Chains A and B, each alone.
Chain A
Amino acid sequence: MREKETTLYLGPQHPGVTGNMMVKLKVAGDTVVKAETHVGYLHRAFEKLMEVRSWMQCFPIVCRICVPEPDPNEENLARAVEEIEGREVPERAKYIRVMVLELARMASILLWMGGQSGSAGLYTMPQWSVGDRDYILDLFEELTGGRVYHMYIWPGGVRRDLPEGFEDRVLKTLDYLESRLPDYDHLMFENAIFQKRAKGVGVIPKEKALEWGVVGPPLRGCGIKHDVRIDEPYEVYDKLDFIVPTYEGGDVWARAMVRRQEFEQSISIIRQVIEKMPKGDYYNKVPNPFNWIVPPGEAYVKTESVRGEFGYYVVSDGSLKPRRIHVRGAAYVHGVSLLEKILVGANIADVSFIMNSLGVCPPEIER
């Protein structure tokens, strides 16, 4: 007998939904028959605002596009402008940038651990991982002055040099976080309930993954080894030694394990960065930001954020203001077309679980 279909609005005011967005579900009994993503609740018109701002004024704006991990945005815009202008970046600044990006990745993974286990009903984990994330935010605060938004990376380098003894404090924090990993394993990754919830849920078919535009941990969770840091190395990633973890299965569990291993890789990358970081300038001369003309040109740059490829398409027409900055958030594809496909057949209780595992981040979908 065919069950009656009901429409269920999940969000925007819903504790399980990742941010301010809504998924309109058609359910038959407990099973999702059709899913439709509704976004736009966080549309602040950043791309329009950047067209009426000077180049330097764009930097405080772009970091607000993705809240859990703002640094890839700054990195992308800075690198795009550098590419159009042909501006050189000192070696030390490149190392500092990699360190900031990896710290941001770790902070974001810790926040994801909290969200992922929280949506499975495991409420101890957020208390631990979000609390530990604050140690990284403290480092950011010391380095840049801001906990969440840093506005630290800018064209030609970074805004400030590392404070005295900062490297030691980073290493100390890394040691602490590494010592916490066994605890996280016991509580979350080796937890039988979590494994039962995560295995076989939200499966992305491997043969479709590339065509559907899946990137980042969801792609690597399908066993396909692609990472912007390897495919198109930026900054100094080609001089660092790290592996790109992959996992077979394409389900929530595989994505969780990929992120779990990426966390370890980030720790190792930052340690290498601190070891290899040269002395010297941390920025090249920045032009007067009030009269800064970027020559006409265009650039598409991309960074591996924690959710996948984060791209910026920047067009300059040789004026004081950008012509067009178009952001490709990793969640743009994951949160709309992919989510609508893989939610079909899922249980209602798994919807927010799957959303968390894809890292759906609505501010970068609608910007």
Chain B
Amino acid sequence: MNVREIEAAALDWVWAHRDRFALGDDALAADGQVNRTWKPLGELTQVCASVARCTPPGDPLHTRVCELLDFAWQQTHRGELFPLMQTLEPFATYPLEVYAAFASAGLRHPGYEASAAVLTRTRGWRLTEQYPTRRLGVLEAERRSGIDPHGDVPRALGRTWLGGLPEPWTFERAAGYALTHVVFHLTDWGRTTRGVPADLADYLLHWLPPWLDTCLDARMWDLSCELLAVAASLPRPPEPAVLKDAWQRVAAAQTTSGAIPEEGAAQDAAGADPGEDPYDFTDCYHSTLMAAFAAALATAAAARPPDVRHAARHAGQGAPG
């Protein structure tokens, strides 16, 4: 089992299905389904931006994700659609959140950033009601888009599930997705591992193994891949045996086309002889993206200097981290 092979296969699937990420005529419709239009495109962009950063120019995977980034940027008419989206829903946060993924890849639209800055200065924007994890994401989206963040990251972090260092046995699906995104926001999607405060890093090193193990047992592939991305976003990685076991199980869930289903239910529906590409786009695109993302981060983390990697031993049996 080779983590890079999982990454390459997942990106093959994404490339083969890139048209499914394309924005349709309903992308700017008043009753448009954001979760089926802008959200997948933003997720594709974010993952490709991260993979591009983790791979050197000239690497075929780097070339592949840069082509996908071009494709995604073209879908937004090179950013022109963002001001239009903003006109339709000025105080919605998702346009800026999607835009931030492009901005992190260096794909920017100065006009949109200037107009967004007008809105983010209002009290109304600051008081948008949303989950604490989403709040953290908006702060990061502002920062990545060249806008002064409207609030304070440590304060926003303190209101999240992960930021409160909850009892690890209270972990459930919703908490899992919240915590992975907190880490993604704190680290700029794996770019700056030092963004994770020391107490959070120790906490995650202690408890990622049982969370990963139980999510994999439950065939929650999407959340498992997100947890693997978290594992690769920490200043020190978890024990190699934990990661090896998890990646082997993810590899076993990957089809020959590179797709990884979100959950085991899709595998059950596909039957015993599922064929090469058995899943609906909506049942596998996110988990496949997350597998590529986690694999890219893991490959980059493994290449970090040995003195950093060996420090992981200190996360062992009760020793201070």
| A and B interact physically | no
A residues with a Cβ closer than 8 A to B are: none
